[in-house]
Amino acid sequence: MPGLALIFACCLALIHLGASRFPLATAEPRSRWLSLAGGTSVAYVFVHILPELKRNQDVMVRADLPVQFLEHHAYIVALLGFVTFYGLDRLAVLSRRQSLAVRGEDATTPMVFWIHILSFACFNALVGYLLLHREQPGTLSLSFFFIAMGAHFLVNDYGLRQHHKEPYNRIGCWLLAGSVLVGYGIGLITPIHELMLAVLFAFLAGGVILNVIKEELPEEQESLFWAFALGAAFYTALLLTL
């Protein structure tokens, strides 16, 4: 299945390179399609990934961890992912406000741009890695993961373009596209321990939840609840049926 995973990794990379040209990303109103994508990725987290946290917790209990509190709280890792990406988003928002007040430019500073992009590059590399190393192997599981992460990448790409403007189009999207393939390559050559897989999945869950919520909840985003709910309901039904 590495061949199919490579095809999916390339497709995920192309989302960042071509998202600005997708009708999904440029259609008006914007929120109709991105809310649908957001609902899809959140459904995958709640229906598929979060239930895995109980099994992840069992894995941590069996492991001889030096940090004792992690033995019974896999959800803390998911919370860490949530808080990490919340902090990154607030950093970008504050940077845009400062730039607007000082220079009249509604874009982040170069330092914040690099912090944001490199953090999301690590996130994308994790997704690329998990294309090969998921808790549930198989073509169907891989396909569900790809669809959910593809929808999530579309949502992330929109938010990153809003924050960083031209630097993202010139540099950022290429780095994020390449990081997916780097993660896939690491997955080919690096064995993964069961405990590390549990931690990676939990962190991914927290990051996905935050990245979607920050795009859906602010009033200025003009998100559509029906589109978000439709995406969540449809993908949930698909996950439960197949």
pLDDT digits (tens, 9 = 90+) for 102-150: 877 777 888 999 999 999 999 999 999 989 887 677 788 888 889 888 8
Q: Give residue 171's pLDDT.
A: 92
Residue reference for tokens 């985003």 = 221
Q: Give residue 69's pLDDT.
A: 52
pTM over 0.85: no
Q: Give residue 51's pLDDT.
A: 79
Q: Which two tokens stand for residue 17?
A: 């390179």
Q: Are 131 and 145 in contact (CB under 8 A)?
A: yes
Whole-number Cα distances in Å, 222 to 33, 34, 35, 146: 12, 11, 10, 27
Query: Which residue spans within 23-154 are E strands per DSSP?
Result: none
pLDDT < 70 positions in the chain:
1, 20-31, 56-73, 135, 215-224, 242
Q: Which two tokens stand for residue 84?
A: 């990490």
Query: DSSP letters of 149-204?
Result: HHHHHHHHHHHHHHHH-HHIIIIIHHHHHHHHHHHHHHHHH----HHHHHHHHHHH
Q: Give residue 154's pLDDT.
A: 85
Whole-number Cα distances in Å, 22 to 26, 30, 49, 178, 213: 6, 12, 28, 19, 22
Give the integer Cα–Cα distance in Å for 91 and 87: 6
